[in-house]
Structure 1
Amino acid sequence: MNRNANLIVRWFHQLGSPPYFDRFAARWAPWGYGLGLLLMAVGVYWGLFHVPADYQQGDSFRILYIHVPSAWMSMAVYALMAVYAVIAQVWRIKLCEILAMACAPIGAAFTLITLLTGSIWGKPMWGTWWDWDPRLTTELILLFMYLGVIGLYNAIDDRRAAARAAGFLAIVGVALLPVIRYSVVWWNSLHQGQTISLLGKSTMDASMIPPLVIMIIGTKLWFIGALLARARADNLRRESGKAWVAQLAEPRA
């Protein structure tokens, strides 16, 4: 057991090396992208063409196969960004700064997709594209938090100072996540309550759940690919003056 633990610790230490991380990201980012896109394609096709219409919402409910995974990812990515930011603030690990900042644009994209699909879903259900519902409003604030992190990171020239400042903002914003999660419980809300639970009992028909699970796994794999690709690009920019980066640019014989 000790030997396995030592190997894991050693691997994490190696991963903090910019050249080692570059090789790791170059190898695994395409796998994350490829498997993620494949699973999402399967999930969307299954959800659109093989799942029966909902007895109340008809075919309009099918947008949940994009809306729900995106909503879950919008919060999960923010939480991960904050974890990386805490590690970077406490232990000054440069790779964690890079990973935290790489999370922000991806999380912002998931949040925007959540808001857009929620509005499209809300039109036939509520009769309006937008209502200042607690869940919608807090999700919109989450988008602004992501944009704030991105803006602050790009407003400071010193990359490490910028990552620390933006990381601190990310950590502060974590307080918003439980508000989003429990907004439909704490306030009277147009947004429907929780109907899907991966660990407990869901109120959805069992035939509707498998494509949703596939979409959730697919978005997570795609996120891993996107995170590694963005972090690798930032890592290369920061290390652009190093010999190992110059060697990557040299043509292979």
Structure 2
Amino acid sequence: MPNIKNTANPSTLQHLWQVFLTTVGTKPFYHVFAPWVKWLAIFASIFLTIGAVWGLIFAPPDYLQGNSYRIIFIHVPMASLAMSIYFAMAVLGVIFLVWKIKTANLVAKAIAPIGFWCCVLSLVTGSIWAKPTWGTYWVWDARLTSMLILAFLYAGVMAMFAAFEHTPNRGKAAALLSVIGAVNLPIIKYSVEWWNTLHQGVTFSVSKAPKMPAEMWMPLLLMLIGGYFLVAALAIYRTNTFILQTEQRKNWVQQLAQPKQ
């Protein structure tokens, strides 16, 4: 048999890793993503405006719930964003704890309040929707309870960021809580299937067709996409703000503050 040798040079791999680390630093992140904020905000405005007008005004009423179902155009995107943002925080927490990449910690700090308010809005709109549907604003349903736990996890992560703001362990406790709290995400997602709950099943599925007519699910999809664009714009803007605050003494930040000739 031919002698197959490993052609990967350890020094080359180490060099590639060092190059990668330079691309995820705070300065490259700022310069690469700062121009994105404007375009993401524009796309978010377009999708959210079309989706909101279509869903809240022109979409037909539901044959059972009438017009009360229209709150899903806010409720569903908020719930989806709340879960997605926490998952992103967990991934960023692993990156920060393992590879000590500072930018990951700053992004997590930037998106934590966004996810918290998405979770709160999801709970509030869900309660408003529950009153005409279930006859009460709140039941200790598995889906509702696990979403409430998610809100408390968000609050805990934000408290950790604030408590360790000026210590050497800044961000470590928040990252650890983000990673541990991620165990709640599959509980939220599959609670309707695992337990006998009042909450309805998923609205969108990769393997199944939507359970509602196109006049209803299309504006909902637009609201979902617009919501993700908006969160992306806010995440980059807030992260860049933290970068400028934490690195205000560095030359490249001071050069940004100087008026252009």
Corresponding residue for 2:169? 161
Q: Trace 1:96-135 onto structure 2 (pairs within 5 A).
A: 96-135=104-143
Rounded to whole Å, the distance in 2 between the matches of 1:129 and 1:59 is 17
Q: Is the Cα contact below 8 Å between 1:89 and 1:164 reproduced in 2?
A: yes
TM-fit CA distance, 1:138: 0.7
Q: Is the Cα contact below 8 Å between 2:165 and 2:171 reproduced in 1?
A: no
Rounded to whole Å, the distance in 1 between the matches of 2:33 and 2:245 is 14
Indicate yes or no: 2:242 matched with 1:202.
no
Q: Trace 1:1-253 onto structure 2 (pairs within 5 A).
A: 13-158=21-166, 161-253=169-261
Unaligned residue ranges in structure 1 (runs of 5+):
1-7
Unaligned residue ranges in structure 2 (runs of 5+):
1-15
Q: Which amino acid aligns with 1:131?
A: V
- Taking structure 2 as the reference length, what is the TM-score of the superposition? 0.88
Which structure shows the bigger proportion of residues in helix conformation? Answer: 1
Q: Is the Cα contact below 8 Å between 1:67 and 1:114 reproduced in 2?
A: yes
Q: Which moved more, 1:64-73 or 1:14-23?
A: 14-23
Rounded to whole Å, the distance in 2 between the matches of 1:242 and 1:137 is 46
Q: Is the Cα contact below 8 Å between 1:97 and 1:160 reproduced in 2?
A: no
Rounded to whole Å, the distance in 2 between the matches of 1:160 and 1:23 is 27
Q: Which amino acid aligns with 1:46?
A: W
TM-fit CA distance, 1:11: 8.7
Q: Which moved more, 1:240-249 or 1:146-155?
A: 240-249
- Taking structure 1 as the reference length, what is the TM-score of the superposition? 0.91
Helix, strand or coil: the match of 1:161?
A: coil
**Deviation per residue, 1:56-86 (Å, 9 max, x gap):** 0001111101111111111111101110110
Over 3 Å counting, the alpha-carbon distance change for 1:207 and 1:198 in structure 2 is farther
TM-fit CA distance, 1:91: 0.7
Over 3 Å counting, the alpha-carbon distance change for 1:47 and 1:166 in structure 2 is same
Rounded to whole Å, the distance in 2 between the matches of 1:242 and 1:41 is 40
Larger-Rg structure: 2
Q: Which amino acid aligns with 1:33?
A: A
Task: State the percentage of identical aligned residues.
Answer: 41
Over 3 Å counting, the alpha-carbon distance change for 1:201 and 1:94 in structure 2 is same
**Deviation per residue, 1:128-167 (Å, 9 max, x gap):** 1112111111101100000100001110133662211100
Alignment RMSD (CA, Å): 1.9
Rounded to whole Å, the distance in 1 between the matches of 2:125 and 2:18 is 43
Rounded to whole Å, the distance in 2 between the matches of 1:244 and 1:128 is 56
Rounded to whole Å, the distance in 2 between the matches of 1:65 and 1:161 is 40
TM-fit CA distance, 1:102: 1.5
Rounded to whole Å, the distance in 1 between the matches of 2:19 and 2:45 is 28
Q: Is the Cα contact below 8 Å between 2:164 and 2:170 reproduced in 1?
A: yes
Over 3 Å counting, the alpha-carbon distance change for 1:198 and 1:47 in structure 2 is farther
Q: Which amino acid aligns with 1:211?
A: P
How many residue pairs get matched? 246
Rounded to whole Å, the distance in 2 between the matches of 1:181 and 1:214 is 21
Q: Which moved more, 1:125-134 or 1:11-20?
A: 11-20
Q: Is the Cα contact below 8 Å between 1:196 and 1:204 reproduced in 2?
A: no
